[in-house]
Every structure is written in structure tokens, then in C-alpha cells.
Structure 1
Amino acid sequence: MKRNVLVIGAGGVAHVVAHKCAQNNKLLGDINIASRTVGKCEAIIDSIKEKGNLQSPGVLRAHQLDAMDIEATKALIRATKSQIVINVGSPFLNMSVLEACIGTGAAYLDTAIHEDPSKVCETPPWYANYEWKRSQACKEAGVTAVLGVGFDPGVVNAYARFAYDNYFDQVDSIDIIDINAGSHGRYFATNFDPEINFREFTSTVWSWENSQWKANKMFEHGKEWDMPVTGKSMAYLTGHDELHSLSRFLDVPNIRFWMGFGEHYINVFNVLKNLGLLSEKPVLTARGQEIVPLEVVKAVLPDPASLAAGYTGKTCIGDLLKGTKDGQPKEVMIYNTCDHEECYAEVGSQAISYTAGVPAVAAAILIAKGTWDSKCMVNVEEQDPAPFIALMNNMGLVTRIKDEHGDRLLEPMREMASSEPEKRFATA
């Protein structure tokens, strides 16, 4: 059994992760939070105390840390006796934090693929460019590393795995749809780190079509989706992390990611991009200063964490799978809806941060119990999704399924008992 958690990062998702770890500290043990700005960590701790979210008396401590410094991160892991590290800082940190975990034996979790600050939308599969290169090192060190265990990527991978194993003889397509029907009341803002948000869309967006990678332009392909609770929304074909592992581990020829955008967001995005303000490449100002335009845009936009107090409405994120069962066409939607105001009441966050943070803590609990303690590097769909989905049902992220039998709560063990699943993995 593993105990004591080090949370790296102090943004909106880290805020949720820290709250949820605190709510489960009898099992998880000491909770330490580290960031370059220790004051942000202290503010999260104050929030936990204000909400009364510490399950039982225990350690809640803030630390200053530059997580790019591998040796400093190792030292903090050892000093805090942390056996689980949840990396919810910038994706630029992933490889450094992973290396520190390999060096100390701590389990590693993150919620997004590593990124090089100087590159955007790299050649797929993205995991092969970074994390998967350290897979053998994790195995040799006996280190559990669970990659991309937010919502998307993360929960949507588990949904895909569960449906693939339990409802189909053959899956022809997986469409992952992410709709935020909420309103934050600001002229323009992003729901998570603006720099990371824009980097996803400024260059090529990749989808998995006919068992090969297909390059598209952002907002080139749009479709209206009628989702549970949130209703009809326009969503656009977008590149995203989970495609890069699902295409490897599931034998499915078509895997796509769709994200909802309003006209206002698209208009502002296009203006910023056309002006060159979303570039990750440095430019020289008239005063001789070298700046990165994208970093300037990030600096002037609202901090995503500041949106929480006034956020209203709901999100709906899910997987639509189509294929055949017993020679007949079959369609299954597995999804979650989340309410911004309810998230704020519980942990002081908006739903986007909540849906990314809760799964990371659920995975940490499964590692602590030994259920997901694989002692090697895995993506979420390589693990048994049933205990993960069942645990989240009791942690604030309830999963539902919609198929020919209706729309109902997804209770994994009951569904598995009735469907006689057969695991089918693609050749890696």
C-alpha cells in the first residue's frame, strides 16, 4: 500500500486535486502541495480548511519548488516521504517530474501529454515523442506511472475501454465529445491554462481515420451534437491527447475528438491567431525585448481559477461508440455531466477543473490500494476501468450510459456480469 501524496502545481486542477486528496486523507496520508509560488499552495490549503474538506486531522503543507529541477523534486519527494506524485503543473514539467519519480520510486500521475515549449501539434503519436521513451525505465525501477488520467484524456479512455470490452464484437468508431454549456460572464477567457489551451489549436489537428493519422485544420470540420442535459451544440474536430494512446491500444479504425466552441470564441481566436499573438516563437519588440506572444496573451487573460465563483451551467463529456454485436449494428454513449455551481460549492472550482482533478485522485486511491499499482508505465485504457468508474461514481463524477436499453447510471460490475466481456487489445 502506498501513502503520502505530493501534488505538483497550484492552478485550478491542482486546487481540485488537493481538495479531493484531503477528503480522502485517511487512506492517502500526508498531503503536500508544491509550486514555484508557495503563496498559491497556501491559498489552496486555506480553501481546504475553509470548506472543511480535510477528512481527518493530518498533514497539509505547502512547498516552493521549481519542478524543472529534477534533483530538487527528488529531494522534496524524499523529505515528504511521498509515495504518490500527482503532477498537475504545466505539461512542460512532465518529463522532469517523471524522472524524479523514477529516481525515487514514487508513483507518477499526470493529466496531459508532455509538451516542448518550442513545438506545437507535433507528429503523432505524441506519447511516443516523450513519455513512452521512459517506459522501460519505469518497468526496471518498478515505478507505477499512469499517464493522462484527467477527464480527457483519462476518463474518456476508461469509457472507451469499458464499452469496447463489454458491449461490442467489433467497434468501428469512437467519437469523444466535450461540451461546456456553461457561462463565466467574461468577455473572453479559457477554462484552463491559456497557453496550453491555445497550443492545442494553432497548428495541425490530428484525428485517427481508417487506421492512420489524418491532418486537419482547426475549425475545418464542425458538427452539431445533441448531448444529454446540455442539448444541441456545435463541436469541432480537434486533435487531443487520448487519440494518441487509444489508437495504439484499441483495435478501432476511427477515433475522433470533438470540442464545443461558440462563435465568439472562434472569432476572438482567429483574430489573435491572424495577428500572430498565439505564436510560441519569440519575437523582438521595438525596445529590444524578446517576448513570446502567446505568453503575453496568457498574462492579460483571466486566470482560469478566477472564473469559478461566477460560473453557471453544465458540462457534458462522453464517448459515442458505434460497431456491431451479434451481427447487428450497435451504438453506445457513455458520459458524465457536471454542474459548475455545484463544483464551486463543494471545492471552490469550476466544472472544467473539477472533471480533470477528480479522476487523478481516484487513480491515486486505486494505486494506494494496490488495484492500479502496475509497477510500470500505463495509459488509462491499459488498466481495468471498472473500479475507476465505480469509484468516481462516489466521488462526484457520476457516469451514465445511453443505448438501446435506455439512459441509466453505469454500474460497472452489474454491466460486466450481464455482458460477459472479452478483452481485445490491438497490437502495440
Structure 2
Amino acid sequence: MKRNVLIIGAGGVAQVVAHKCAQNNDVLGEIHIASRTLSKCEAILETVRDKAAMKTDGVLKAHQVDAMDSAAVAALIRDTGAQIVINVGSAFVNMTVLDACLETGAAYIDTAIHEDPAKICEIPPWYGNYEWKKRDLCAERGVTAILGAGFDPGVVNAFARFAIDRMDEVKSIDIVDINAGSHGKYFATNFDPEINFREFTGTVYYWEDQQWKETRMFESGRDWDLPVVGTQRAYQSGHDEVHSLATNYPQADVRFWMGFGEHYINVFTVLQNLGLLSEQPVTTAEGQKVVPLKLVKAVLPDPASLAPDYTGKTCIGDLVKGVKDGEEVEIFVYNVADHKDAYEEVGSQGISYTAGVPPVAAAMLVATGEWDAGTMKNVEEMDPKPFFTLLDGMGLPTRIKDAQGDRPWNA
């Protein structure tokens, strides 16, 4: 059994992770959190104490570390005795944190694919460009690495696996992410603006007819009639989970759809057309070098600041189509989360909540041995049932909707 957790990162998702680790520290043991800014880590731990979230008495400690420095991360892993690392820092630090886990033997869990700050939307499959290159080394050293264990990627990968396991043949996987909530700001992103915009400024890759195809952001949209949130417009987007699902289920079409309102699209379009979403530096008339995307990030609201006034719900799920006993079937596996409920429980908005709860569930399964694979795995390669069981009790219940009706996954 593995014990003691080191959380890398100090944003909105890290706050959820810290609270959920505290609520389950009887399983996870000591809880450590680290980022470049010690005060941010200490502020998160203060919210944990304010909510009296610790299930049992134990260690709850903040640390400073540059996660881009693999040796420093490895030293911190050794100093804390952490056997599980939950990386919810920037996607730019994945590989250095993974290398630290490979050096120390700690299990590694992340919530997104690694990104190179100098590149936008690389040629797929993205996992193949970075994390998967370390797969053999993980197996050789017996290091567990669970990739993309947030919600999307993460829970939606498990949704796909669960639906496919109920079929004889899978034909398509459409992942739909709808945030029907309102934060009350003129314009804001629900997570790191830099990462958010980078997802949407490049080519949209999707898997269809057993080959990669391309479109542009906001070119391919459709209305989805979903439980609780009703009919919502969503657009085909490039996203992490398409890359692993297309590899593990190459016979299926795999697409990702995200909901956007007209206001978001208008603001995004203006920013992009003005060149303000570029990751490449420009020089001002005064001779200063500025990265436009980082400037936009600096002037937008911190996603964590949205939580107190956020209302409404999210609906995220997979519509999976296939064949069972010679008949065409379709199953929608999904979750609905509430922004206000998330804030009352952990002080975060619903997007951070849906992203932060699953890696803690994954860590618990690693701790107990059920997901302690001793190699690198994407979530769809793991048994989804114990994952769903934990998520049900941690605030993210899974439901299915098919020809037999709408019900809990295990009903």
C-alpha cells in the first residue's frame, strides 16, 4: 500500500485536490502541497483547516519548489516521503515531475497532456510526443503513472471504457462538455487562461474513419439535448482524451465537443484577430518584449476568484454508439455537478471541482493497490467500476441514459 501525497500546483484545482485528500487522509496519509509560491500553498491549506476537512489528525504541510526543476522535485519527494504525486500544476511541468517520480519510485498522476510552451497544438497523438516516450521506463522501474486523471481527460475516458464494456462493438465516442453556469464577469476563463486559449487557437484534430482529420475551432457545431442543463450548443474541439482513446479504440470515431456561448466566441475571435492570443513575444515601441497571451492572462480574472458568485450546473458525458447482440445501441454516461455546491464544500467553482476530485480518487486506488499498475496507463486502460464507486461518494456521481432509461451507473 502506498502512503503520503505530494500535490504539485496551487491553483483552483489544487485547492480541490487538497480538500479531497484531507477528507480521505485515513487512506492517503500525509498531505504535502508545493508550488513556486509558498504563500499560495499556505492559503490553500488554510481553507482546508477552515473547513475542518481533515478526516483524521495528520500532516498537512506547504512547500516551495520550482516544478520545472526535476532534481528539486525529486529531492522534495524524498524529503516528504511521498509515495504518490498528484500533478495539477501547469501542463508545462508534466515531464519534469514525471522524471522526478521515475527517479524516486513515487507514483505519478496528472490531469492533462504535457505541453511545450513554444508550440501550439502539435501533431497527434500528443501523448506520443511526450508522456508515452517514458512508458517503457515506467514498466522497467515498476513506477505507476496514471495519465489524464481529471474529468476530461480522465472520468470521460472511464465513461467510454464502461460503455464499451457493455457492447460487442464500438462505433463512435462523442465526449460532450457543457458548463451551463454563470460567473457574472464580463469575460473570464474557468481555468488557466493561457492553457484555455492554447487549446482553441490551433488545429482541431479528431479521429474518424480510422484516421486523423482536421477542422478549425467553432467551424463544427451542433445542439445537444442533455440531462438537467437542457439543449446546449457545443463545438468540436481538439482535446487530450481524443488522442489516447483513438489509440486504444482505433475502430471508433472519437470526437470532443465543448459548449460555448456567443459572447465567449465573439471575445475570443476579437482577441485572436488582434494577435493577442499569440504565444510568441512581440516588441513594443518602448523596446519591451511582451508575450501577448501572457498579457491577456494577467488582465483576466483569476479562475479561482470566480467561485463565490458562480451559479448553475455542468453536464459532462460520453455518447457511445455501437452494437450489442447484433443490434445498434447507444449509451450516454455522464455526470452533473453544481457550482454552488462545490463552493460550499471546498471553496472552489464547479469546473475546478470536476477536475480536482478524480485525481484524488485515482490516488486512493493507487494507494490501495487497485490501480497501482507498476507501469504507465491512461484511465481507459483501468477498471472504471472502483473509480465510479469512489467518485459517487466524493461528490461526482455517474449516471447512464440508454434505451432502459436514466439511472445510476450501478442500478
Query: Any residues of structure 2 matched to 1:180-329 within 5 Å, and which?
Result: 180-329=179-328
Pairwise mapping of residues 382-421 of structure 1 onto structure 2 (< 5 A)?
382-411=381-410
Number of corresponding residues = 411
Unaligned ranges ≥5, structure 1: 415-428
- The answer on whether the counterparts of 1:206 and 1:215 sit within 8 Å (CA) in structure 2 is yes
> Equivalents in 1 of 2:183, 2:334: separation in Å?
23
Residue 126 of structure 1: aligned partner: 126
Distance 1:142 1:175 in 2: 34
Counterpart CA distance in 2 for 1:364 and 1:69 is 23
Q: Counterparts of 1:358-373 in structure 2 under 5 Å?
A: 358-373=357-372
Give how far 1:40 is off: 0.5
Q: CA deviation at 1:171?
A: 1.4
- Equivalent positions of 1:347-366 (< 5 A) are 347-366=346-365
SS of residue in 2 equivalent to 1:242: helix
Counterparts of 1:120 and 1:211, CA distance in 2 = 24
Task: Tell me, in whole angstroms, the C-alpha distance in 2 between the residues paired with 1:326 and 1:63.
Answer: 55
Q: Residue 170 of structure 2 aligns with which residue?
A: 171
- Name the residue aligned to 1:155: 155
Aligned-partner residue type, residue 29 of structure 2? G
> Structure 1, residues 173-222: CA drift from partner, whole Å, max 9, x if none?
11100000000000000000000000000010111111111111000001
Q: CA shift at 1:169, angstroms?
A: 1.4
Which SS does the other structure have where 1:153 is aligned?
Answer: coil
**2:112 counterpart SS class:** coil
- 1:324, CA displacement in angstroms? 1.5
Question: Could you tell me how far 1:170 is from its partner in structure 2?
Answer: 1.3
Instruction: State how far apart, in whole Å, the 2-side matches of 1:278 and 1:134 are.
Output: 31
1:68 and 1:251 map into 2 onto residues whose CA distance is: 34
Q: What SS does the aligned partner of 1:398 have?
A: coil
Q: Is the 8 A contact 1:112 1:153 kept in 2?
A: yes
Structure 2 CA distance for aligned equivalents of residues 171 and 107 of structure 1 = 32
Cα distance in structure 2, aligned partners of 1:22 and 1:360: 13
1:378 is matched with which residue? 377
Residue of structure 2 equivalent to 1:145 = 145
> Hey, what's the Cα distance between the residues in 2 that align with 1:252 and 1:185?
43
| Contact kept? 1:174, 1:252, Cα under 8 Å | no
Shift of 1:251: 4.1
- What residue is the counterpart of 1:15 in the other structure? 15
Shift of 1:269: 0.1
**Equivalent pair of 1:319/1:333 in contact (CA under 8 Å):** yes
Distance in structure 2 (CA, Å) of the matches to 1:18 and 1:149: 15
Counterpart CA distance in 1 for 2:222 and 2:30 is 46
Coordinate RMSD, CA, aligned: 0.7
- State the secondary structure of the residue aligned to 1:378: strand
Displacement, 1:360?
0.2
Name the counterpart of 1:75: 75
* Deviation of 1:254 (Å): 0.6
Letter in 2 for 1:53: A
Per-residue deviation at 1:13? 0.5
* Secondary structure in 2 matching 1:68: coil
- Specify the SS of the correspondent of 2:406: strand
* SS of aligned partner of 1:394: helix
Aligned partner of 1:58 in structure 2 is 58
SS of 1:150's partner is coil
* Structure 1 runs (4+) greater than 6 angstroms displaced: none
Shift of 1:253: 2.7
- Within 5 Å, which residues of 2 pair with 1:26-37? 26-37=26-37
Report the Cα distance in structure 2 between the residues aligned to 1:325 and 1:75, rounded to whole angstroms: 51
Q: Per-residue deviation at 1:288?
A: 1.1
Corresponding residue of 2:47: 47
Give SS of 2:121's match: coil
CA drift of 1:252 comes to 3.4
Q: Distance in 2 between matches of 1:376 and 1:293?
A: 39
- TM-score between both structures, scaled by the size of structure 2: 0.99
Aligned residue identity for 1:38: L
Q: Which amino acid in the other structure matches residue 263 of structure 1?
A: E
Q: Percent identity?
A: 68
Letter in 1 for 2:316: I
What SS is found at the alignment partner of 2:195? helix
Q: Does the aligned pair in 2 maintain the 1:311–1:340 contact within 8 Å?
A: yes
Q: Give CA deviations for 1:100-139 in whole Å, capped at 9, x if unaligned.
A: 0000000000000000001011000000000000111111
Aligned: 1:114 with 2:114: yes
Structure 2 segments unaligned to the other structure (5+ residues):
none
- Aligned partners of 1:171 and 1:321 also within 8 Å: yes
- Give the SS at the match of 2:305: helix
Letter in 2 for 1:282: P
Cα distance in 2 for residues equivalent to 1:137 and 1:289: 43
Q: What is the CA-CA distance between 1:329 and the residue it aligns to?
A: 1.4
The one-letter amino acid of 1:253's match is A
